[in-house]
Copies of this chain bind each other. A is one copy, B any other.
Amino acid sequence: MSSRVGRKFVVSLFGQSHSAAVGCVVEGVPAGRAIDFADLRAFLARRAPNGAAYSTARKETDAFEFVGGLVDGVTCGAPLAALIRNADAHSADYDQVRRMPRPGHADYVARAKFGAAHDVAGGGHFSGRLTAPLCIAGGIAKQMLRLRGVEVGAHLARVACIDDAPWPSQGLAPDDVGRPGGKSFPVVDDDAGMRMRDAIAAARAAGDSVGGVVECAAVGLPIGVGEPIFDGIESALGRILFGIPAVKGVEFGCGFAAADMCGSVHNDPYRMRDGHVAFESNNAGGILGGISTGEPVMVRVAFKPTSSIFLEQRSVDLERGCNADLTLSGRHDPCVAVRAVPVVEAACAVALYDLMSEAGLA
């Protein structure tokens, strides 16, 4: 069992969707660092449902309390521990799930793994709710990275076959990567965003859901971050990103498109620029041999469509051992990728700050 990631900047998540609280323990922040709570609250607000047509109706203020690790808002060298109380939990919604596993959810495999004791309410420990404490850890990591000149940002790159304007792989400024996060709908091209919202609203109206792709960039990462072989940047980001519910694919730089390219096109040439070694392109997504090149780290993350839909689905009744058709009620995002944008930022920030710490750059 493990809900922990990191080697020097270590994040442990705890809690279930409907337990008393969810939270995190975060080790590895140097002592003497002030936490910007307003910034952290604003970051968590991006993940919280906002009542829009593309979001769940569940009210999650995500108000956090730090119970350890701080003195007057400054880290003291002890592990950080933070809680978010689970206020608006409706366990009643989930009685049916105990008997009938929801297609696309972990209900059935979790029951097979943990037995009847598994906390099925809201998906228990497998709930997207756990991304809230991940965002606390990630929000802190983002602040620590910013102190080192590294800015991590993401946007909704694709929803329902509608593409946002892609980010260039070179020349991204810190403001550029932060801009989408400052909008109510995190895209670069607001026209594309409008069409995405329409598509999401249409899916919701049809009782269905859609998937999406989130693109994340880290700019300002110095060259030389990342450890050999199994602790390179791709490995570290891959591990943590696949820990986000609904993620089914991760690619860096040209990613799967690179498999269709030839070396003479894909290799990023070197040139001297202003007396420094520079890359003429960034097909590598800022990573060679698992180590940062100094160019922006570019990663794309594929999210499957929300598993909770309101159309009738084919399931089984585990108690009676027969087929059963299932129609879900409850409150769910029709497109998890939207609120996942800050979660991807959080995951990337946690992994990158851990590698920065490993490299002695925390």
> Number of contact residues on A: which range applies?
35 or more
Q: Can you name 8 extra interface pairs (CB under 8 A) apart from A2-B10, A77-B119? A: A74-B117, A104-B284, A104-B288, A109-B293, A113-B223, A208-B264, A264-B309, A267-B307
CB distance B262 to A254 under 8 Å?
no
Which of B12, B113, B305, B315 has a CB less than 8 Å from the CB of A25? B12
The 8 A-B pairs at the shortest CB distance, nearest first, are namely A106-B289, A78-B125, A238-B238, A249-B251, A77-B114, A31-B114, A269-B314, A209-B263
A171 in the interface (beta carbon within 8 A): no
Nearest opposing residue in chain B for A281, CB measure: B103
Contacts of A224 in B (CB 8 A): 109, 112-113
Which of B14, B118, B232, B284 has a CB less than 8 Å from the CB of A79? B14
Which of chain A's residues 292-334 have a Cβ closer than 8 Å to chain B? 292-293, 302-309, 311, 313-316, 318, 321-323
Say which one of A16-24, A39-47, A51-59, A190-198 lies at the interface with B.
A16-24
Binding site for B on A (CB under 8 A): 1-5, 7-8, 10, 12-16, 19-23, 25, 27-28, 31-33, 65-71, 74-81, 83, 101, 103-106, 108-110, 112-119, 121, 123-126, 130, 158, 160-161, 203, 208-213, 223-224, 226-232, 234-243, 245, 247-256, 258-272, 275, 277, 280, 284-285, 288-293, 302-309, 311, 313-316, 318, 321-323, 337, 359-360
CB distance B228 to A105 under 8 Å?
no
Contacts of A260 in B (CB 8 A): 158, 160-161, 211
Q: 13 A-B Cβ contacts within 8 A?
A: A3-B27, A12-B27, A19-B70, A67-B83, A68-B125, A76-B124, A209-B262, A210-B262, A211-B260, A234-B247, A249-B251, A263-B304, A263-B306
CB distance A14 to B314 under 8 Å?
no
Check A258/B249 contact, CB under 8 A, given A23-B81, A109-B289, A243-B230. Answer: yes
CB distance from A140 to the nearest CB of B (A): 14
Check A12/B12 contact, CB under 8 A, given A78-B124, A314-B269. Answer: yes
CB distance A280 to B314 under 8 Å?
yes
Contacts of A79 in B (CB 8 A): 1, 3, 12-14, 125
Which of B243, B256, B277 has a CB less than 8 Å from the CB of A232? B243
Nearest opposing residue in chain B for A316, CB measure: B270
CB distance A19 to B67 under 8 Å?
yes
CB distance from A355 to the nearest CB of B (A): 11
CB distance A223 to B291 under 8 Å?
no
CB distance A15 to B81 under 8 Å?
yes
Distance A309 CA – B290 CA, assembled complex (angstroms): 20
Check A68/B16 contact, CB under 8 A, given A243-B290, A266-B304. Answer: yes
* Most chain B beta-carbon contacts within 10 A, residue among A117, A124, A249, A259: A259
